[in-house]
Structure 1
């Protein structure tokens, strides 16, 4: 059995048994399950997501990381560390990764040279109902309040779990909340996440996150804490309650203070 076949077989086993550990997947297996990257199902600042299919017709999502801009193995390993330590119904399930470097002959300034091409992929369960941003964009205000409550509750539970593990997400937004077959929310994209244990507040060198979801203390003093995620959560909750995907500029500081204390009460209901 070659690497491609064994890799696909292992991936199917990981998907079947939730207790299985994540695996390393060969590049040939990645190409096979994505049918040579034929169907794009998502794009973001850090990569492109392709639809994949295993031999048992189970669908998966394969994220190809953009290694051309500000990419480092340290960042990749940091994301892997977060993904490998989480297992929760409201966190997207991580199945495996591909990390390889291939040499390619290229002509640079009239001379042939061997250039290394980094290939970095992450493989996840597939969420058939897309992401929360698209849901808010397509559904009218007030549509199915029970589903919106379910989404809010699930995000709270997932975030509570992450914080219990010492993980700060730092880029929580509707695009990074996937919706499963039963509309259960699943937090995804840990490219900016930090696992600093119980250390509450940390000062960093630059601003992290997406405009509109960044906490004031991050903008004003480059300070991050678990509260940074709570602020982002408050913005998401307001958008769900208002039924809008548009930017909400007014009074965002008040939202932060309003949601800071009571937000995790929902997760225990």
Structure 2
């Protein structure tokens, strides 16, 4: 039995995110000792493989301080322990709930490790107006870069905006990204994305262009400035903006800007380049950024430590199916040797 490339090259620290077919781990590279986020996506008959690879292609096109950095991606065939209830409904037998093994392709995406996401930050504390503007400007600059690469993000939300240890905003999670052709400006859409941030045209399943992300930016700008203390207060403010175009009195100063961003018609929303010319950026100053006592993740210096010695490892596999190393000859399948 041969160890997988992932287990050979990384120490798993802990799980930091989970979706229906994917898990993200905080890891340390055994050779360079640096922290990375490694996203593991399961390829199977229930999941669109082209969609998964689209995320890698989108990340690989980007190189900007306000976009999460992509390092590497690879595919491995791995034996996965699963229960019979995960198998086809037409598979019958007396061993209901018994475990079984299957050979699955896993996509591994190695990315920049970030301190936290915007959702965590806003749940833990309020931020100053200056910091809100600084963070919003970072989002706009990141989007402007990906638009230059002919990419539609498609799922901007506070959970997909990250902040590194230096408090730099990073646009992340390109799982629903769309790649435009050389001459295309719009693309067919389903109503995918996070509902509170979804533009009207995306909700209807109409063709979308990059202005779909501008609408989401408007919701994010509201959240940054709103200083909401409860989830219900936040939800109420977002609903008022989406349905009645009404903003809290406390941020009326920015009403014209936010209403432009969430205009019903995509044509009426500003481009990222237009947003970057707004006069509000004169108020952005690094001296206004809040003091943040939270400590960024620290990785130990012992590069030779065994997996069992790494902090949090005992819980790291809880969010992933139990993996066993596949035989070497299994790595020859469809995607080639890893």
Category of TM-score, reference length = shorter chain: 0.7 to 0.9
Residue equivalent to 1:65: 41
> Could you say which residue in structure 1 is the equivalent of 2:124?
138
Q: Matches of 2:174 and 2:147 in 1, distance apart?
A: 13
Corresponding residue of 2:263: 257
Structure 2 CA distance for partners of 1:250 and 1:50, relative to 1, 3 Å: same
1:146 deviates by 2.4
Q: 1:203 aligns with which of 188, 191, 196?
A: 188
- Tell me the TM-score normalized by structure 1: 0.77
SS at the partner of 2:6?
helix
1:267 is aligned, of 268, 276, 280, to: 276
Give the CA deviation at 1:109. 5.6
Any stretches of 5+ residues in structure 1 without a counterpart?
Answer: 4-26
In the alignment, is residue 98 of structure 1 matched against residue 74 of structure 2?
yes
Structure 2 residue 107 is matched with structure 1 residue 120:
yes
For 1:239, the equivalent position in structure 2 comes to 223
3-state SS of 1:90 partner: coil
Match of 2:56 among 80, 89, 100: 80
Deviation at 1:68, TM superposition (A): 5.5
Flag the structure with higher strand content.
Answer: 1
- CA shift at 1:210, angstroms? 0.8
SS in 2 for 1:201: coil
Equivalent in the alignment of 1:186 = 170
Q: Hey, what's the Cα distance between the residues in 2 that align with 1:251 and 1:147?
A: 22
- Cα 1:222–1:69 change in 2 (3 A) is farther
SS at match of 1:250: helix
Offset at residue 33 of structure 1 (A): 5.0
Aligned-partner SS, 2:195? coil
**Greater length-normalized contact order (CA 8 Å, ≥ 6 residues apart):** 2
**How many residues are paired up?**
238
Relative to 1, partners in 2 of residues 1:105 and 1:202: Cα closer, same or farther, differing over 3 Å? closer
Q: TM-score, normalised to structure 2's length? A: 0.63
Shift of 1:226: 0.8
* Inter-partner Cα distance in structure 1 for 2:59 and 2:271: 27
What displacement does 1:173 show? Answer: 0.6
Gaps of 5+ in 2: 85-90, 94-99, 246-258, 282-338
Alpha-carbon distance, 1:144 to partner: 2.7
* CA RMSD between the two structures: 3.0
Secondary structure class of the residue paired with 1:175 = helix
Aligned match of 2:148: 164
Q: Is the Cα–Cα contact under 8 Å of residues 4 and 76 in structure 2 kept in the other structure?
A: no
Moved more, 214-223 or 118-127: 214-223
Query: How many Å separate the matches in 1 of 2:177 and 2:192?
Result: 9
Give the match for residue 211 of structure 2.
227
| Partner secondary structure for residue 77 of structure 1 | helix
> After the TM superposition, which of the residue ranges 221-230 and 157-166 deviates more from structure 2?
221-230
Aligned-residue offset at 1:262: 7.1
Structure 1 residues 263 and 238: CA distance shift in structure 2, 3 A = farther
